[in-house]
Structure 1
Amino acid sequence: MLGNFTYENPTKLYFGKDALSYLQDELALYGPNVQFIYGGGSVKRNGIYEKIMTVLQAAHKRVIEDGGVMPNPTLDKLYEGCRAAKEQKADLLLAVGGGSVCDYAKAVAVSAYCETDPWDTYYAHMRRIKNKIIPVGCVLTMAGTGSEMNGGSVITNTAEKRKIARVFDARVFPRFAVLNPEFTMTVPKYQMAAGCYDIMSHLMEQYFSGTDDTASDYIAEGMMRSLVHSSRQAIRDPQDYEARSNIMWLASWALNSFIGKGKSQDWMVHMLGQSLGAYTNATHGMTLAAVSLPYYRHIVKAGEAKFARFAQTVWQVRPDGKTAADIAAEGLQCLEAWMRSLGLVLHARELGMTEEMIPQIAEGVFITHGGYETLTREAVEDILQQSL
C-alpha cells in the first residue's frame, strides 16, 4: 500500500427489501421542508413516487417537488433547483432515482447558497466550499454510479458543451441512502447494462495503475468477478433478486473511495467518456463502453503485467505457453465478449459521434496522470478515432 491516507465515509446505507421502512426515522432528523428530487417520471409509473409521498406525508413534511432531472443534469436545471431550495428553505434534498438524480441533488446542496456562479466556482475552477450545504438523502432506483455513497457530482454545461465531474468532500456525501434491489427491477435492460458497465469502469480505473502489491487490487478483482457473474444472471433474468442485490451492493463499494486507497488511479476512460457525453448527451455508461477498449488497447503495452494479471484473475485466462502480451490481449478479448453479451455500445458513432466532432471532443478531455501513460492530444484524438 502506497503513502499515507485517511478513509472516511459518513453515508448510512439501508439495504434490502425493507429498506424504505427506515426512511421515516431519517426524516425525523431534519426540518419540515423536503425537496423531493426525481427524474423524468418513471418513479410515478412504477409506484415508487407514491410510496415516497406516503412516507413524507406521514412524517408531516412540506414537499417541494423538483422533478424532471435529466440523465445528464444540465447547468440550467441546477440553477432551477438552487432557486427552489433557497426560496423554499429546503431542510433536506431527497433524491429518488439513479445516479444523475443523486449527482444533481449534491450539486444543488453546495450551490443553493453559493454567492457566486456555482459553475464557475465549483466546477470550472474547483474552489473550496465556503457556504451553507443542504443535507442530501437518496432512495436509489438504479445501480451503477455509486453516487449514493460518495461526493461526486457531474454537471453538463450545454452552452459550452462541457461535462465536468466534481468530487466534493465528506460534507456533501448523502447522509443516508435507501437501497432496495427490487426498485431496480423496472429499469430497461439498456440502462441496466449501462449501469453494470459504469461499475466495471469504476473498478478498472482504480485497478489499472501502479505496480505494487496492494490489498485494494485483490478486493477489486473479487468485485469484478462478482459483477461479471451477477450481470450475466441479471441479463438472463431481470427479476433475479440475488443478482440485482449483488449489483446494487457492488455499485456502492466500487466508487466510495475504498478500493482506491493506497494506490494511484487512472480516470482517463471517464475523462474521454464525459467529453463524448457532453457532445452527444448519450447514456453515461454507454459512453464509457464506447471508449474503453480503444483506450486500454492503447496503454496495454505500458501496463502489460497488470493487464496479464487481470486476464488470469478476473477472466481465468490460462497462461500456458503464452507471453505476457498474449495473455493481456486475451483478457481484453474476454472483456469485449462480456460487454457484447450485455448489449453494450462499442462504437461511439452509435451514440451520435461523427469524425468531424473528434477535435472538439478531444479539446474537452481533461488529461489525468495516474495511469501507465499520460496521453497527448494526438493520442486522445487517435483513441476517439478508434472508438468510431
Structure 2
Amino acid sequence: MMDNFDFRNPTQILFGEGRVADLDSQIPADARVLVLYGGQSAQRNGTLDEVRAALGKRNVVEFGGIEANPRFATLMRAVELARRENIDFLLAVGGGSVVDGTKFVAAAIPFAGDTWSILTEHGANVTAAVPFGTVLTLPATGSEMNHGSVITNDAVKAKLAFMSSHVYPAFSVLDPTKTYTLPQRQLANGVADAFVHIIEQYLTYPVDAMVQDRFAEGLLQTLIELAPRLKEDDHDYAARANFMWTTTWALNGMIGAGVPQDWASHMIGHELTALYDIDHARTLAIVLPSLMNEMRDAKREKLLQYAERVWGIDTGDDASRIDQVIERTREFFEELGIPTTLAAYDLGSEAVDAVVEQLESHGMTALGERQQVTLDVSRRILESALAPAQLTV
C-alpha cells in the first residue's frame, strides 16, 4: 500500500528558448547578486553575457570554478566572498554540480558553526538559506527543481548529500538551446544519471502506486527513445526540450512520493567518485546492473514489471526475463558510450576493498529500500562489476 506523504515543490520553472531574459522579473531590483558558475563553457556559449544583460544595474559579483563534483573547499571560498560582499541572492549558471554547490553556499552563508556539519548531518541542522535561482545548462541531476545537494570533500575523501526544504531554488530557467554545445560525454552522462534517478525510486517492491509507476515508466521510455536522437542532431530542439524536461521530472519529488526508494547505487557510486574521481553517472552505470542481479530476489516483482513495461520483455520464465532486462540495462549504458565495469577504469579488487571501507566509515552499512544491502552485499556487487565476464547473469 502507498505510504502517506506530503508533496510540495515551490520552484517556479521558466521553460523555453530565450527565457534567460526573464531573470529581471524574478530577482529583486535591489538585490546584491552572486553569480556562480563552473568552467569557461558558460562564458564561451554566451550564457553568462545573457545573464549579465538580464541582471541590468543590480550589484553583481561573480564566482567561477565550481568543479564537476563540487568541492567543499571551493564552495567555502564562495561563502567567504558572499559574506564579505553582503550578498542576499545567488544565481547558479551551469549544470547540476553548480546548482548543488550553490545550494550548499546558500545554506552555509547564514550558518553558525562548522559548515561541514551541514553534510555530516545531512541538512538536519539547516534552518535558513539565502534565496537563489538557477539557469540550467546541463540537464542531468534534477537539482534545479529539488531540495538536495551532494558535495565532495577531498581532504577526507568523502562525498556526502544533504537535503533541506530551505534550498529549493526559487526559480529555474530551462532553455533547451543551452544544450546545443554540450559534448557527447556530458549528454550521455545526463541520460544515465536521470535514468538511474528514476530507477532508484521505481525498482523496489510494489505498493500499488499506479500513478508513480506509470510516470516512472514513461520517463524511462522517453530517455530510451531520446538517447539516439541526442547523438544525431545538435540542434534538434524537440529532442533537447524533452530531454531537459525529463531529467527535471526524474528527481523533482513526484515519482518518489509515497513509495519505497533504494539509492544504494548512488551511495556506492559516491564512494567511487570520491576515491577515483569517476564521473558520477558513470559510477551508477558500473553499480546498477550488478546491484540488480544481486538483489534480483528482493526486487523480483518490480524487475518483471520493469522488463515488460519498459523494455517489452514478456517471454520466458521469470529468471530468464530478469536475466534479459539486467543485460538490456547494461547494454543501454554501453550504447551511450559509458563502460559498466571497474576494469574499464583500470580498477581491480583493491577498489572493492577501498569502497567498502569508505562505506563503513560513512555509516553506509545497511542500504536499499529494505536496508538489505549490507557491507557484504556491497562487496559482492562491486566484485561482480570488476570485469565484463563477471557481469553475465
TM-score interval, smaller chain: over 0.9
Query: Where does residue 353 of structure 2 map in the other structure?
Result: 359
Q: How does 1:64-79 map to 2 (within 5 A)?
A: 64-79=61-76
Residue 135 to residue 368, structure 1, CA distance change in 2 (3 Å): farther
Paired with 1:38 and 1:137, the residues of 2 have a C-alpha distance of 12
Q: Is the 8 A contact 2:66 2:75 kept in 1?
A: no
1:87-119: CA deviations, max 9, x gaps?
A: 111121100000000000000000112121111
Paired with 2:302 and 2:61, the residues of 1 have a C-alpha distance of 49
Q: Is the 8 A contact 2:367 2:374 kept in 1?
A: no
Q: Is the 8 A contact 1:154 1:163 kept in 2?
A: yes
Question: Aligned AA for 2:350?
Answer: E
- Counterpart pick for 2:96 among 93, 96, 99: 99
Q: Is the 8 A contact 1:31 1:92 kept in 2?
A: no
What displacement does 1:40 show? 1.1
Aligned: 1:187 with 2:182? yes
Aligned residue for 1:300, secondary structure, equals: coil
What displacement does 1:350 show? 3.2
Normalising by structure 1, we get a TM-score of 0.94
Aligned: 1:291 with 2:275? no
Residue 130 to residue 371, structure 1, CA distance change in 2 (3 Å): closer
Aligned: 1:350 with 2:356? no
Q: How does 1:299-338 map to 2 (within 5 A)?
A: 299-319=295-315, 322-338=316-332
Query: Where does residue 386 of structure 1 map in the other structure?
Result: 384
Query: Where does residue 80 of structure 2 map in the other structure?
Result: 83
Query: Where does residue 10 of structure 1 map in the other structure?
Result: 10
Q: Is the 8 A contact 1:135 1:174 kept in 2?
A: yes
Residue 166 to residue 352, structure 1, CA distance change in 2 (3 Å): farther
Q: How many residues are paired up?
A: 381
1:244-269: CA deviations, max 9, x gaps?
A: 11111011111011101111100001
1:287-336: CA deviations, max 9, x gaps?
A: 111111111111112211211111110011132xx111111211122212
Query: Where does residue 136 of structure 1 map in the other structure?
Result: 132
Paired with 2:296 and 2:106, the residues of 1 have a C-alpha distance of 40
Aligned: 1:197 with 2:192? yes
Q: Is the 8 A contact 2:107 2:126 kept in 1?
A: no
What displacement does 1:352 show? 5.3
Question: Aligned AA for 2:323?
Answer: A
What displacement does 1:369 show? 4.5
Alignment gaps of 5+ in structure 1: none
1:116-164: CA deviations, max 9, x gaps?
A: 11112x1112353455410110000000100000111111111111100
**Shift >6 Å, 4+ stretches:** none
Paired with 2:18 and 2:77, the residues of 1 have a C-alpha distance of 33
Q: Is the 8 A contact 1:138 1:176 kept in 2?
A: yes
Q: Is the 8 A contact 2:22 2:54 kept in 1?
A: no
Question: Aligned AA for 2:169?
Answer: P
The percentage of aligned residue pairs carrying the same residue is: 34
Query: Where does residue 178 of structure 1 map in the other structure?
Result: 173
Q: Is the 8 A contact 2:123 2:163 kept in 1?
A: no
Q: How does 1:257-276 map to 2 (within 5 A)?
A: 257-276=253-272
Question: Aligned AA for 2:349?
Answer: E
Paired with 1:128 and 1:315, the residues of 2 have a C-alpha distance of 39
1:223-282: CA deviations, max 9, x gaps?
A: 111111012211222322111111110111110111011111000010011010001112
Paired with 2:243 and 2:268, the residues of 1 have a C-alpha distance of 25
What displacement does 1:181 show? 0.6
Query: Where does residue 390 of structure 2 map in the other structure?
Result: none
Aligned residue for 1:137, secondary structure, equals: strand
Alignment gaps of 5+ in structure 2: 387-393
What displacement does 1:174 show? 0.4
Query: Where does residue 35 of structure 1 map in the other structure?
Result: 34
What displacement does 1:337 show? 2.1
Query: Where does residue 26 of structure 2 map in the other structure?
Result: 26
Q: How does 1:132-171 map to 2 (within 5 A)?
A: 132-169=128-165, 171=166
Residue 89 to residue 217, structure 1, CA distance change in 2 (3 Å): same
Residue 300 to residue 109, structure 1, CA distance change in 2 (3 Å): same
Paired with 2:305 and 2:346, the residues of 1 have a C-alpha distance of 35
